[in-house]
Structure formats: C-alpha cells, structure tokens
Amino acid sequence: MRKAAWVLPSHIENSGGFRTVFQNINCLLLHGYRCDVYIEKRGCTDAASNLKRMAEQYFGVCGCRYFTTYKFHGTYDIMFATSWKTAEAVKQYPKATKKVYFIQDFEAAFYPAGTEYLAACASYCQGLYPITIGRWLAAKMADHYHVDARYFDFCADTDIYRDLHRKREKAVCFIYQPHKPRRCSRLGLQALGIVSVLRPDVKIYLFGSDRKPRVPFAYESRGCLSVEQCNALYNQCMAGLCISATNPSRIPFEMMAAGLPVVDLHLENNLYDMPQEGVLLAHYTPQSIAAALLELLDHPKKAKQMSQGGQRFMKDRTLAYGFDQFYEAVTDVLSDGKRKNRHGMKTVACAEPVRMYRHAPVISSMRENKAMQKLCRCKNFWVAQLGGKPPWWIRLLKNSRIVRSIYGRLQGDSL
C-alpha cells in the first residue's frame, strides 16, 4: 500500500480550495493509498478529532488520519504541499520519496509587492513537482520558473450542474465575493451599474456572500447557495458574470455545464482554460464587461449558441475525468515521467498547455462609456465605486455645505 501525506495550512474552512484538496485525497484513497493530513495547530480547540469532524462536515467522509502538527511521522511515497506556507516544511522532510506542490492558484498575487509576495514566488523554486488545477498555472510554472508541471482540467459535477430546459429570464447572475479581492467585486458592480442604466428591465442577482452592497441599482441578493440552488439560478439567467484576476474559479465551468454563457476578463490567466465557444472575455474595464453582458442579453441567438457550446465543452469534463487526470499526474511523478499511454505518447497530465481562447477581447463602445458617465453623476457613485459603505472622509465631505455648493456649480447637480 502506497502512503501519501498532505500538508495543509493552519485551519480548515468551507471553501472551494479545501474542497478540491479533499476530493483529490479521496481519489487517492479509492486507488488504495493511505493518506495522512497534517495541519499546523492553532489554539487548544484544534484537536485532531475536531479537525476530522470539521472536514467531514464540510466535505464528507474521508478515511484519512489527521495530525495537528508539522512534525511528520514515518516515511511516505509521496508528500503534497498545498500552499506556499507549507512548501518549505515539505521540502525539508527527508523521508518522502516524491514531493509534490499541489497548486490551485498563483498565491503570490494575493499580496502586494513585498516580502510575502517574494516568499510565495520563491516557493515555486523549492524543487517540488508541481501538479496544478488548470493549464494556465502549468504554463506559468514552465515560462516563469522553468519547472515542468502536470495539470488536471477544471471540471464540474454534471449530475448537479446541467441544463434544466427552463425558460430563462432576461437576467444576469454575479458571483459577489467581496472578501476575495481576486474576484473583483467592485469592478463587477460597476459593470452591472452600466447594464442597469442601459437596460433597466434586466434583473440582477448577486450570490456568494451574505453581504449586501449599497449600489445605485436594483438587485436581488441570494446570499450563499447550495450547489443545487446555484444550478437553479444558472438556469434562471441569460448570462453569468464571474471575474477572475488570478487562476479561474470553478464557477464559470459549472455555469457552462448548466447551459449559462459566461463573461470574464480577457487576461492571460483565462486564455488557457476558457473555451471561446461558451465564454466571452472582455477588456478589464466596467464598460467593456458591460458590453460583453449586453452582447448576450441583446442577442438571444448568440446566447443560445454559446449555451450549447459551453455544454458541449463540459460534457466530458466530469469530476471523474478530473480525478483520472490527477491520478495520472501522480502516477507520472512516481514513475519519474517515464509513464506513457497505450499509444506510446506522453500522458495528458504532462502535455504542454496551449492557449484555448483566441478571440480578441470585447471592447466597450460609446454607448457604455456614456452610461458610465451617467453612473458617475449618481448620488451613490462613491458607494458603487467602493462596493460598500463609503469611508468616513467621503461621508464628511458629502455633508459639507461648502463642498456641495462647489460641486453643484461645477456639475450642475449636488452630492
């Protein structure tokens, strides 16, 4: 029986990243591995039994052992670092035959340029074998860090995310997660504000957070949804907005599986994994994002074609397909890259990633730019810019008679 160790950050939370880790731990368990999970202890409540209970509550039963320490026990055939903060601990352990870096995002981008940014970058140079979710990260490891990476594709649970063949509203749903800067919640709200100015009849749904932003347009907040509720919402709308400034989220792929065309940013991080048949990538301005959404809302025939294209793309990208790719990558690492498929070719897991999306970005027209100007004159513009409550100095200025008088003379309007 092969033995694997997974080294996780210092707490478990109900997030997509942890869900992916535990799904792939279960994949190895099903292939006969024995898996140990190591988590750094923080506080007296983080007993191993509590961590096991939390993991099973969030992610289902997982037959692994839990340890609240980075003092590893015994020898392992393979050991996984799962974040930049765990890479050094895995590198230093001498009793692991192979050491893998399970990379789900370019974590250096989570920090401003400084010590933590550079430390996260340095973690990719520790001599660990990268296995990435998605092709962009594999390409980045090769281009920037000169490391050959294996990858597995973004997949979806097609038993849950599927087209229910219902009549769709003229509506947009936006994954609003203000606690994750890489999801660009403010940029998304500004784009939706432009859509609301140009198409007041379009219904806007926010989901993914219980926070309700103060913005100058009507919307319905659905809060945090179950996967079944997400699929129902995706089947209710004509367009989905999910912004990714780093590695893509799983959400666009789940939207496509449900038949929902997606709008995201035309950035390098999205060009390797997003199919042009089911996704519109826009320039990173509110006006251009709004233009992409309007292209779907105003052209039902194109929206339907993209709905079908996205479903075709996701048809074979089931969770089982992704697990097979992951296991193939692990096997390839253990065999020192000598594993071949039945045709004598290199396996998919170590194939060189290439760009999938080749269309030009959607660029805004004068129509969206004028709508942005109108939005800027709105009394709640600062709230819309900040995606929440304006800072104290803005509130103070808004209540100043002198400032209001000057602004009124210049703009012909008041704050």
pLDDT 10s digits, 326-365: 999 999 999 986 655 443 444 455 567 899 999 999 998 8
Q: Could you tell me if residue 143 is inside a domain?
A: yes
Q: Could you tell me if residue 39 is inside a domain?
A: yes
Q: Would you state the pLDDT for residue 380?
A: 54
Q: Could you tell me if residue 410 is inside a domain?
A: no
Q: Would you state the pLDDT for residue 14?
A: 62
Q: Could you tell me if residue 73 is inside a domain?
A: yes
Residue pair 37/69 in contact by the 8 Å Cβ criterion:
no
Residue pair 225/233 in contact by the 8 Å Cβ criterion:
yes
Percent pLDDT > 70 in the chain is 84
**Number of folded domains that form the chain:** 1
| 289 DSSP assignment | H
User: Residue 116: is its pLDDT beyond 50?
Assistant: yes
Question: Where does the pLDDT of residue 256 fall: very low under 50, low under 70, confident under 90, or very high at 90 and above?
Answer: very high
**Helix 286-297 × helix 185-198 angle, to 10°:** 50
Q: Could you tell me if residue 238 is inside a domain?
A: no
Q: Would you state the pLDDT for residue 366?
A: 77
Q: Could you tell me if residue 104 is inside a domain?
A: yes
Q: Would you state the pLDDT for residue 44?
A: 47
Instruction: Give the Cα separation of 90 and 70 in Å (integer).
Output: 9
Those residues whose C-beta lies under 8 Å from the C-beta of residue 227, and which sit 6 or more positions away, are: 157, 160, 161
Q: Could you tell me if residue 93 is inside a domain?
A: yes
Average pLDDT over residues 38-56: 71
Q: Could you tell me if residue 139 is inside a domain?
A: yes
Q: Would you state the pLDDT for residue 382?
A: 46
Give the helix/strand (H/E) hosting 16. Answer: helix 16-30
Q: Would you state the pLDDT for residue 405?
A: 57
Q: Domain of 117? A: 3-155+318-350
| 337 DSSP assignment | T
Q: Outline where 181-271 has alpha helix (H).
A: 185-198, 227-234, 251-257, 268-271
User: Residue 410: is its pLDDT beyond 50?
Assistant: no
Q: Which CATH number fits the domain that encloses residue 49?
A: 3.40.50.2000
